Amino acid sequence: MPLEELSGFVVGVTAHRRAGEQIAMLERRGATVLHGPAIRTHPVTVDGRLAGALDDLIAHPPDVTVLSTGIGVRGVVEAAEVLGRAEALIDALARSRVFVRGPKAHGAAVTVGLPVAWGTPSGVSSEILAELRRSGIAGVRVALQLDGARSQPLADALVELGADVVPIPVYRWSLPDDPGPALRLAQAVADGRVDAVTFTARPQIESLCEMAETSGLLGPLRRGLAGGLVVACVGPVCAQAAVEAGFGEPVVPPRPRLGSLVVSLAEALGRRSLGFRLGDAEVRLQGRAVTAAGETVQLSDRERDVLAALARRPGAVVSKADLLAAVWPDGEADEHAVEVTVGRLRRRLGPHGHLLQTVFRRGYRLAT
């Protein structure tokens, strides 16, 4: 039976909202998912600050409207509908110049009937700020849909430029009530037990770093993420945060959608699979799954790493010292650990195990 495209791989998911949908997409492709939500999403109550902001905008329409996220745009209109003011709000905002950050916000704006005057080329707030600065923003009334993060640099920058900013709070993000799952994911990354981690919002990265730092895991987390794991970010804002956090160069899908994120992740992990021969058998090592002659077995992390080290040099002898350095880089193991792991790996390979050969006093090789 052929492997699913993500069989053998462990993927960490840090999302809270729509996590179930993302996990289902990954599992359908064969991945093992480790869920460690790094944030919690809280809707803002309709009768609080949100209602006051909507009333203010209806009474005093803005000159400019800035829409940051698709979920935020829909949340604003849904809240206005609950209050019986949706038509009045859309009429007030439609008179302004509408700026959007990214395709999700653009699509949501068009759907609710707001004509878009300008959208960011790459989906980052700094582009909106630059465009507004060019046209002059001092004294201009700006309706700004907030994106839920604790810090709002765009709002602060607009105020500094002299704009009259009316913030629209639709939802907010916070640390999860229980940090345990996120910290277990961080530890798994540090231990090399995860092949990829996905991020769908900038606050997930910021919160994961905050929790890891509090627990003394930030350094190991960064080393794990930047040391060969696939870091997949849904869009450029999220990717920029990953780079700034020291997580390496992330994979970013061509479209900022969950489906595209999973496809791009699968392609990146697929490039890490190894194909080689053991005698007359074609063998494929994909994550922790190894398939030979149609039979698939699951390996441990150490077994996978030893087989990968040998498979990268088929037929060549790899010394125990080289295997120790590649598979146990922390220096906490000795050559006996290599011997034990090779013995287990031979048993996993079944009828092909004898082709993992011992070369006396030199090391091991795969017979091809």
Which DSSP string corresponds to 40-83?
EEEEPPIIIIIHHHHHHHHHS--SEEEE--HHHHHHHHHHHHHT
- Residue 180 has a pLDDT of 97
- Give me the domains of the chain, ranges plus CATH numbers: 10-39+175-270 (3.40.50.10090), 42-170 (3.40.50.10090), 274-366 (1.10.10.10)
pLDDT greater at residue 246 or residue 122: 246
- pLDDT tens digits for range 38-79: 998 887 777 678 899 999 999 999 999 999 888 889 889 988
- Residue 74 has a pLDDT of 87
- How do 171-174 and 40-43 pair as beta strands? antiparallel
pTM value is 0.77
Tell me the CA distances in angstroms from 289 to 26, 233, 274, 277, 367, one per residue in order.
16, 25, 11, 15, 20
- Residue 1 has a pLDDT of 45
- pLDDT tens digits for range 94-121: 999 999 998 889 999 999 999 999 998 8
- Residue 199 has a pLDDT of 97
Count other C-beta atoms under 10 Å from residue 16's C-beta.
21
Task: Output the average pLDDT for the chain.
Answer: 90
- Residue 261 has a pLDDT of 95
| CA–CA gap between residue 196 and residue 229 (Å, rounded) | 5
pLDDT greater at residue 330 or residue 349: 349
User: What sign for the dihedral angle of Cα 244, 246, 249, 251?
Assistant: negative
Q: Which residues contact 267 (CB under 8 A, 6 or more apart)?
A: none
Which whole number is the average pLDDT over 156-182? 92
Which DSSP string corresponds to 154-176?
HHHHHHHTT-EEEEE--EEEE--
Flag whether pLDDT at 283 surpasses 80. Answer: yes
- Residue 135 has a pLDDT of 86
Q: Which residues contact 69 (CB under 8 A, 6 or more apart)?
A: 101, 102, 104, 105, 145, 147, 148
Contact 4, 30 (CB under 8 A): yes
Flag whether pLDDT at 300 surpasses 70. Answer: yes
Flag whether pLDDT at 2 surpasses 60. Answer: no
Residue from 368, 9, 27, 54 nearest 195 by CA: 9
Residue 271 in tokens: 């490039």
Which whole number is the average pLDDT over 306-315? 90
Amino acid at 251: V
Count other C-beta atoms under 10 Å from residue 192's C-beta.
18
**How would residue 316 be classed by pLDDT, with cut points 50, 70 and 90?**
very high
